[in-house]
Structure 1
């Protein structure tokens, strides 16, 4: 049997729309067992226990693209889901990465991480979730003329990422539908400057710059009305001794960065969130430096 562990991710990180992402230390576990024949699922909802399952479809995509000599005749896939679904924490990306990594090992194709990432981007459409899930840390990645470009940004030690997760979902399709097809030139300049500053702030460990660097004109303002109390939560978290706040992926999760030494902020945010009409939970997370991994058992 093969176990594949794929981490949660937080995409965009404010101004890094569709190119910047962060790997977090919360993992979904997928177990693959080769069989003589048949397709079986365990641990997933019945509506996804069929040939349209994203993990299985991703494996078929891999076999069709790579055409390895060895393809399992049958497979059983077991799911252990720890990452909230449709909340902007990369749950669908874990399925894509798991399917590709499992197919790569089970077929003995032996593709490297860059080849796996290219296939993941082809399926996902953009790299900001799948790249950090595969490589760990914070990643800037993009494709140009079928060439992959990426670089890792090491997140400084001693900071935590408080993922404020509501009890309602927000589909990526709906979150993308509200975005404009064109943006003003000044908004482009705004985001370029903030994204450059954000990367410099983490690279140089100058965390005082993070709060202003998390600002964005590409997507957060347009998506805010889809998330109850979004502006209030961001305003409150920024009043606290936090380092910065941003929308995680397409939302609805809101992410606040804080120092590990800040013992009060978790209780302060929980107390505030409890006053709102929706139920929110906070996941106290850290950056994972390694990304997805496999284990044969």
Structure 2
């Protein structure tokens, strides 16, 4: 059995803890029957022995599998990770979603994506990453009475994401501590209006509106101050064809969207300016979590 979950970019500027979308970078786990428990790991994190020994996937998988099954079985878990760790691309959400989906699938129990999303909420309290990881596409989500309420939309293939991944992380927990304790009414209205406009732009496919709509006063400036080069990455992106350019999640990745014909030129410019960062063009994912037998 193979379970695949896409990377995600959350917040998208002003949509703090609410907006997100799924990318064509994916984590994959293949699960096979085995005589004993074993784990193999390739790709991102493969050189980190702690990940293999203290695997969050295994812990969450066992939580569910032990509740769902009366059988004592062993499995071999083969992980192939494309999503970088601690770079604001939803690596934790991908692990949570794939672990829960795997436990149900192994037992042959039908699990709707809506139920999967709400089970994942117990491990990830904000819905901005887990929703696109499960559903794919562009998503707007909130939590009401301990359930995720969301609306999603496919993203057109005429757009391409361009991703700049710095050579060091920004801690989500630490970056949240840098945020103001209070915001002014003006800043709250600014973000509310821009998040609303950004949502409307995605839903109506008014791509010319993305540049204005993606402006933020809640979190980006405070987080990007921890890695000042990101301001220059953003400036160069917006000056070379990016329709929008925002911090991905809490960083350190900077995420841009360009028309497909402009994406490679933007990627080349960013590679020239930031040779010590990882820069590439990818795709959007409109599928979300995928299970194959």
Fold similarity call, TM over 0.5: yes
Q: In structure 2, the residue corresponding to 1:183 is in which secondary structure?
A: coil
TM norm structure 2: 0.92
Distance in 1 (alpha carbons) for counterparts of 2:159 and 2:109: 38
Question: Shift of residue 62 of structure 1?
Answer: 2.5
In structure 2, list runs of 5 or more residues that go unmatched: none
Where in structure 2 are the equivalents of 1:133-282 lying within 5 Å?
133-262=133-262, 263-274=264-275, 279-282=276-279
2:51 paired with 1:48: yes
Separation in structure 2 between the aligned mates of residue 111 and residue 164 of structure 1, nearest angstrom = 35
Alignment of 1:30-109 (within 5 A): 30-36=29-35, 38-43=36-41, 44=46, 45-50=48-53, 52-63=54-65, 67-70=67-70, 73-109=73-109
**Shift of residue 287 of structure 1?**
1.2
Please state how far the C-alpha of 1:5 moved relative to its aligned partner.
0.9
Change (3 A) 1:34 1:206: same
SS at match of 1:129: helix
Q: Size of the alignment, in residue pairs?
A: 287
Root-mean-square deviation over aligned CA pairs: 1.7
Quote the Cα distance in structure 2 between the aligned partners of 1:47 and 1:154.
37
CA positional deviation for 1:153: 2.5
- 4+ aligned runs moved over 6 Å, structure 1: none
Instruction: Answer with 126-135 or 180-189: which moved more.
Output: 180-189
Contact 1:156 1:202 in 2 (8 A): no
Conservation of the 8 A alpha-carbon contact between 2:8 and 2:129: yes
1:170–1:72 CA distance, 2 compared to 1 (3 A): farther
Q: CA deviation at 1:29?
A: 1.1
Residue 69 (structure 1) shift = 4.1
Q: For residue 48 of structure 1, report the CA deviation from its aligned partner.
A: 2.2
Which residue pairs with 2:25 in the alignment? Answer: 26
